[in-house]
Every structure is written in structure tokens, then in C-alpha cells.
Amino acid sequence: MNKALVRTDFNFPGQKSVYHGKVRDVYNINDELLVMVATDRISAFDVVLPEGIPYKGQMLNQIAAKFLDATTDICPNWKLASPDPMVTVGVQCQGFPVEMIVRGYLCGSAWRAYKSGIREICGVKIPDGMRENERFPEPIITPTTKAEQGLHDEDISKEEILKQGLVSEADYALLEKYTLALFKRGTEIAAQRGLILVDTKYEFGHRDGKIYLIDEIHTPDSSRYFYTEGYQERFEKGEPQKQLSKEFVREWLMENGFQGKAGQTVPEMTPAIVQSISERYIELFEHITGEAFVKGDTAQLLSRIEKNVSDYLKTNNK
């Protein structure tokens, strides 16, 4: 059986600390570099699920690396190299305490709110009469706070971000500009692959007075994709869209009585469920990149990663 990487505890050259996130383990190297290991953990409703998904980390890391490389003309990003299929090494930045969510279509949590009667999300007014999965006239930005570990991200408006001083007015204007330009590029690349980039999130940080795009970009953990073929027909009939995203995991959890609320229990993740999730991730990888997914050797995952990263740091961090 293919192994899933759910925990790391490395000690890399120059390592000062490590942060274990919901999915990624981030190692601080001399307060200069970050080694970001994309594990095979999977989260939904801000809860880390009990089983890892084989190859998920590799897929996320390789998709993100590809899109980071494809958007360097739009804004600087933190990536320096990917010394291992599950690892990106980049410059350490001070992250802004907000996430920039951009939506091209009314679906997911926005649709659930809209269906309940809400007509304003994060200070953005949504017109009456919209239907599920309908395209907005122009993409909208609906930011969230960047919560501390264990807490939920919260919706927040641009006005509140500025009022609280979370981001300066000048910096926020640049974040908005970068967000819309990145979403436009992601939409164009997706269209070439027969996909619609529905919504996504971007995180930014700053270093030495410069703003960088950080973390992942356009992965199935941070984005939602529809298939272009059949979209209009399904929309007109009010049918669910065929999509490639983590939403199918959320839907499976909701069908089995779990939405991350107190007292609820995560349903059993059988080997068949785990395999089906892995296969869906591979499907997205191959569609969005246009490349066949090559499974990395999982026999000695930890030692492979440790060697590849250590060799890179010894050569490039002098």
C-alpha cells in the first residue's frame, strides 16, 4: 500500500524552529529561508482529517510550484527551489494577517450564505436573483482573517481591514491589484485545459519593503475548478457542476453528518474513500498541468526528503 506522510520532525542545517500547520510543515532556516513540506494531511472545515491521502502533498507542491513559476511577471513570490517533489524552499516573509479570497462564481460557502438570505459578503453587495454556480459580472474579493492555529478564519471587509490597521491602504491596494491579476492568469491557464477557475485564495507577505506572493497557489486545496464542457447546460438545468476541488470532500463529510461543529465526529475514512480522494487529486493535477502525474517513491519518504533538502541547504545557504 502507498504510504502517506502525515508527520515530519526534521532537523535541517541552520534550522531554528518548525511550525506544523493543517497541511504543511514549515521549517525556519536561520530566519532567512523557509522549507515548506507539503504533507499528505487533508483538512476540511478547519479540521485535519484522521487519514492522510497518498501523493496529495506531492501534487499540491508541484501544482503550486508550476503556478508560482508561471506568474513571476505579475508579482514577486517567495519560491527559490523545489529540491524534493513534496518541498518548496523560499525566502522568509512576514505574512499579512489576511487571506485574499477571489470569487468568479457564486458557489460553495458564498452560495450557502446567499441561499440563507445574505446579500452582502465581506462588504461586497450581491444582487438578488442569482443562482448557484452563476458567474459574477466581475470577480469579487472577499477577504478573511488569517487565524491563529486552531481557530477559524473569519470573513472581513476591506473597510474593516483598513480600520483595524491589519494592512495599510497602500499595501492593500497592491494586494487587490495582484489578486485580480493572478486570478486572471489562473483563469486563462485553466481555460487552456478545459477548466474554469471558480474561486481561489492568495496569501501575501512582505520583506525589506517588498510584497511577495507566499504559500500555495491554484491548488485543489486553495481553489475550485469546474469543467468548461457541460457547464452552461448544467447551470441552466440547475444541476450540480462537475468540478475538481476539495469541495467533494466537504460534501462527503456533510452527507455523513460532519461540518466541523462541536460534538460532531468525522466519519470513517475507509481505504476506498482514501483511494478515491487520491485519485481525484491526481485527476486535477493532470488536468490543470496538462502533464501525467509521476508518483514519487514513497518507500522511504522521510529519508528522501531529509537528504534532498539538506543537500540543497548545504549547497545554497552559505
Which residues are paired to 35 by β-bridges? 27, 89
Model confidence, pTM? 0.89
Confidence class for position 146, pLDDT limits 50, 70, 90: confident
Q: Which residue has the higher pLDDT, 289 or 244?
A: 289
**For the residues 153-175, what does the mean pLDDT come to?**
95
Instruction: Give dist(CA 207, CA 315) in Å, integer.
Output: 23
pLDDT of res. 317: 66
**Alpha helix segments (H runs only) across the chain:** 56-69, 108-115, 158-164, 169-192, 231-237, 247-255, 271-289, 301-316
- Render pLDDT for 257-292 as a digit per residue (tens, 0 to 9): 999 898 999 999 999 999 999 998 898 899 889 999
All structural domains of the chain, each given as residue ranges with its CATH number in brackets, are: 15-94+248-316 (3.30.200.20), 96-245 (3.30.470.20)
Dihedral sign (CA 274, 280, 283, 284): negative
* Of residues 8, 92, 87, the one with CA closest to residue 311: 87
- Residue 281 and residue 55 in contact, taking contact as beta carbons nearer than 8 Å: yes
Cell of 216: 500555495
Q: Would you mind telling me the total number of residues written for the chain in this entry?
A: 318
pLDDT tens-place string over residues 170-221 = 999 999 999 999 999 999 999 999 999 999 999 999 999 999 999 999 988 8
Average pLDDT rounded to a whole number, residues 239-250: 85
234 class by beta-carbon count within 10 Å (0-12 exposed, 13-18 middle, 19+ buried) = middle
Alpha-carbon distances, residue 58 vs 32, 39, 91, 214 (angstroms): 24, 8, 20, 18
- The number of angstroms, rounded, from the C-alpha of 79 to the middle of its chain's C-alpha atoms is 15
